[in-house]
Amino acid sequence: MNAAQKSPRPRRPRPVELDGTRLSIQAVLDVAAGRRSVRLSKTALKRVQASADFLARELKRGEPIYGVTTGFGWNADRLLEDSRRRPGADDSLSVVAELQHKLIVSHAVCVGEPLPVELVRAMLLIRINTLLKGHSGVRVVTLERLRELLALDLIPVVPGKGSVGASGDLAPLSHLALAVIGEGEVFEDGVRVPAREALARAGLEPLTLSFKEGLALNNGTGQMLASAILAIGRLEALVKQADINAALCLEAFCGRSAALDERVHALRPHPGQIEAATNLRKLVQGSGLVDIPYHRVPRFHPWSASAWPGSDSRTFDIRWDYIPPAERAAGSRFYQRHLPFRGGKKVQPQDAYSLRCAPQVHGAIRDTLARVREIAEIELNSVTDNPLVFAEADLEQGEDSVVSAGNFHGMPIALGLTQLKCAIPVLASIAERRLAKLVDPATNDGLPPFLIGNEDGTDSGHMIVQYTAAALVNDLASKAHPATVYSIPTSANAEDHVSMGATEGRDVLAMLDDLGRVLGLELLVATQALEFRLQILQASYALAMLGVQSLRSKLRNLSAIGPDDATTLAADIKRLQADLRKLESAQPAPAGRAALDCVRRAGIEFLAHDRLLTPDIERAIALVESGAIVEAVESALGEALD
């Protein structure tokens, strides 16, 4: 291949330009994943510098400004003299500058395992963006240093526990700010190193914080909001996966599509419900399994040596019950439209709630997610530190130029996270119920017990997979209790009501891991069930091609046939034979086929006999977490799911 034929290098995504007003959730997700760089708006930097200059002038007036010329919290009534130097203190720092430095080092007291690097990247980005609004009094050089940390991928080490979510995420944001002043640790190429050493290798000097910069850096909802945004991104993908799983289950059950009727959902027009129903209609469109006539679906029957001709490799048998003429009276109208044979699919026009109500349940999750997204979008371009600087204030009209207030309180985002915390177990629970139905011979509409042929009586199939799903759902339910209802006052009761939003965020992200696992288990079981259903239907087609006698051998309840009904029976069997020949085209919808093929390409083979399932489970979960199934299905559909 010559130079002219070489494939062009993939373009690097354009940098995210931050100006304090237009940061999107998707941009945060892109930066958090390390795919996009950041630049700062020149116009926004002018606002920042104007605010810093204004604050410097206010300081010269000698007015008490919370956190600038006063202490914090309990010490808010202590006025500081900018010119005074304390004996034994760093001679290079005024008391006001020393205040900002000590604020950061004294508040960086989190414990536990470090937050994920992706989450801390998001926190850095959010902090830069809110400070760019120009109401925090920080200098341009400080914002540039935060941007440099992102650009160099020197990500501060932030232990996970320590925020009560009221004066913002004080403790974790203090850990975030330590790197700016050369304290604490950062991740450099994935390794924890002292921040001062990493800065030196990058040719950077630690900054000395000015005026209220310490307070601006550690006062805000950065950890809560970053957690919410990462959760939104993950849950939006998992809700799509849940729709795909539900469609796979609907096909495996040979379920009914009436509950997806567009007219039904127009009468209860919750947006999420409509979206979920639309997705499910797309996913089962073209299916030869959904709405299949009842009599075409035989019931699994254990294999026996005489079940099939000697060359047949099937490890299962199939059966129908014949409905004699004398027993048809109660369903006379039904049997005018359907052949008088009962297989595995129950003769009823509606499926269980976990299938029939999937649009309503999945839709409610979607509506909750939309509400939390709305909260996050507002918060993302808001100012959440304290006090706030209003350089444009009209002092002659009595407007305050520096206002101490409470935008740092995390309750808006905390309650949004609480909603997600309650929604996640709901989605996991309905998925587990579908999984449980598939492995249970009493409810799986003619599929084998635990989805295994078990011809020798030695196989457990997918029985224990349901145990794991049940354990995960129970664990999720136990974590769903809201932390937001348990406020514990802090700062000697000066901060007497807190949000506990950081706890909610940490719980939600951990819960999403288990939701992904439940959906992975459902995917594993649903694709096994779908392939088994296809094998059973293909066996029915092969049986019809063998002849009437072979088909007759699979019928039960023939003992009730009297001499007068023999002719009717013979005619009915021929009708069944002719009808079963139509099963040659009984295939899943294109979306279902794409999902099944993706699972098989990942190395998860059909389970004919028991084997160690751990590798299959890990692969199925990885497919869910990577989004590979959603991508394969959307490619098959030629459009994105809602």
Each residue of 46-69: pLDDT tens digit?
A: 999 999 888 888 777 666 666 566
Q: What is the CATH number of the domain that holds 297?
A: 1.20.200.10
Specify the amino acid at residue 311. Answer: S
> Do residues 212 and 304 share a domain?
no
Task: Map residue 40 onto helix, strand or coil.
Answer: strand
pLDDT band at 174 (very low <50, low <70, confident <90, very high): very high
**Rounded to whole angstroms, how far apart are CA atoms 508 and 240?**
18
Q: How many domains does the chain have?
A: 2
**Rounded to whole angstroms, how far apart are CA atoms 122 and 408?**
18
For the cut 70, the answer to whether the pLDDT of residue 2 exceeds it is no
> Do residues 183 and 273 share a domain?
no
Q: Are 300 and 322 in contact (CB under 8 A)?
A: no
For the cut 60, the answer to whether the pLDDT of residue 3 exceeds it is no
User: How confident is the model at residue 338, as a pLDDT?
Assistant: 84
Q: Which domain holds residue 209?
A: 16-220
**Rounded to whole angstroms, how far apart are CA atoms 47 and 54?**
10
Portion of the chain with pLDDT greater than 90, in percent: 75
For the cut 90, the answer to whether the pLDDT of residue 603 exceeds it is yes
> Do residues 299 and 346 share a domain?
yes
Lowest-pLDDT choice from 320-334, 405-419, 457-471, 561-575:
320-334
Each residue of 206-239: pLDDT tens digit?
A: 999 988 899 899 999 999 999 999 999 999 999 9
> Do residues 295 and 338 share a domain?
yes
Rounded mean pLDDT, 335-351 = 88
Q: Is the model more confident about 306 or about 152?
A: 152
Classify residue 394: in a domain, yes or no.
no
Q: Are 390 and 294 in contact (CB under 8 A)?
A: no
Classify residue 180: in a domain, yes or no.
yes
Classify residue 397: in a domain, yes or no.
no
> Do residues 102 and 27 share a domain?
yes
For the cut 80, the answer to whether the pLDDT of residue 458 exceeds it is yes
Buried b (16+ CB within 10 A) or exposed e, 186-225: bbbeeeeebbbebbeeeebebbbbbbbbbbbbbbbbbbbb
As given in the structure block, the two tokens for residue 363 are 């839709």
**Rounded to whole angstroms, how far apart are CA atoms 377 and 461?**
46
> Do residues 442 and 365 share a domain?
yes
**Rounded to whole angstroms, how far apart are CA atoms 201 and 473?**
47
Rounded mean pLDDT, 96-119 = 92
Domain stop point among 220, 245, 274: 220
Compute CA distances 479 → 36, 418, 427, 505, 508, whole Å.
Answer: 34, 11, 14, 12, 9
Rounded mean pLDDT, 4-16 = 69
> Do residues 465 and 596 share a domain?
yes
Classify residue 39: in a domain, yes or no.
yes
pLDDT band at 81 (very low <50, low <70, confident <90, very high): low
User: How confident is the model at residue 139, as a pLDDT?
Assistant: 94
> Do residues 184 and 88 share a domain?
yes
Over the chain, what is the mean pLDDT?
A: 91
Q: What is the CATH number of the domain that holds 75?
A: 1.10.275.10
User: How confident is the model at residue 446, as a pLDDT?
Assistant: 95
- The residue from 66, 294, 335, 486 that is catalytic is 66
User: How confident is the model at residue 1, as a pLDDT?
Assistant: 46
Classify residue 201: in a domain, yes or no.
yes
Rounded mean pLDDT, 602-611 = 97
Classify residue 383: in a domain, yes or no.
no
For the cut 60, the answer to whether the pLDDT of residue 403 exceeds it is yes
DSSP 395: G
Classify residue 484: in a domain, yes or no.
yes
User: How confident is the model at residue 442, as a pLDDT?
Assistant: 94
pLDDT band at 303 (very low <50, low <70, confident <90, very high): very high
Compute CA distances 60 → 46, 63, 64, 557, whole Å.
Answer: 22, 8, 11, 99
**In the chain, what is the straight-line distance between the N-terminal and C-terminal CA atoms, in Å?**
41
- 66 an active-site residue? yes
For the cut 80, the answer to whether the pLDDT of residue 399 exceeds it is no
User: How confident is the model at residue 143, as a pLDDT?
Assistant: 96
> Do residues 298 and 269 share a domain?
yes
DSSP 531-558: HHHHHHHHHHHHHHHH-HHHHHTTEE-G
Domain stop point among 220, 240, 267: 220
pLDDT band at 563 (very low <50, low <70, confident <90, very high): confident
pLDDT band at 337 (very low <50, low <70, confident <90, very high): confident
> Do residues 151 and 238 share a domain?
no
For the cut 70, the answer to whether the pLDDT of residue 378 exceeds it is yes
DSSP 177-238: HHGGGT-SEEEETTEEEEHHHHHHHTT-PPPPP-TTHHHHHHSS-HHHHHHHHHHHHHHHHH
Q: Are 12 and 123 in contact (CB under 8 A)?
A: no
> Do residues 150 and 76 share a domain?
yes
For the cut 50, the answer to whether the pLDDT of residue 198 exceeds it is yes
pLDDT band at 336 (very low <50, low <70, confident <90, very high): confident
pLDDT band at 5 (very low <50, low <70, confident <90, very high): low
Phi, psi of 40, deg, nearest 5: -105, 135
Rounded mean pLDDT, 261-277 = 98
Rounded mean pLDDT, 432-459 = 96
Domain stop point among 166, 192, 220: 220
User: How confident is the model at residue 194, as a pLDDT?
Assistant: 98
425: nearest Cα among 235, 247, 230: 235
User: How confident is the model at residue 210, as a pLDDT?
Assistant: 87
> Do residues 574 and 483 share a domain?
yes
Classify residue 391: in a domain, yes or no.
no
User: How confident is the model at residue 312, as a pLDDT?
Assistant: 86
Compute CA distances 51 → 106, 137, 144, 393, 610, whole Å.
Answer: 26, 5, 16, 11, 69
Compute CA distances 82 → 142, 215, 365, whole Å.
Answer: 21, 17, 54
Specify the amino acid at residue 102. Answer: K
**Rounded to whole angstroms, how far apart are CA atoms 214 and 217?**
5
User: How confident is the model at residue 73, as a pLDDT?
Assistant: 58
pTM above the 0.85 mark?
Answer: yes
DSSP 110: -
Q: Are 514 and 472 in contact (CB under 8 A)?
A: yes
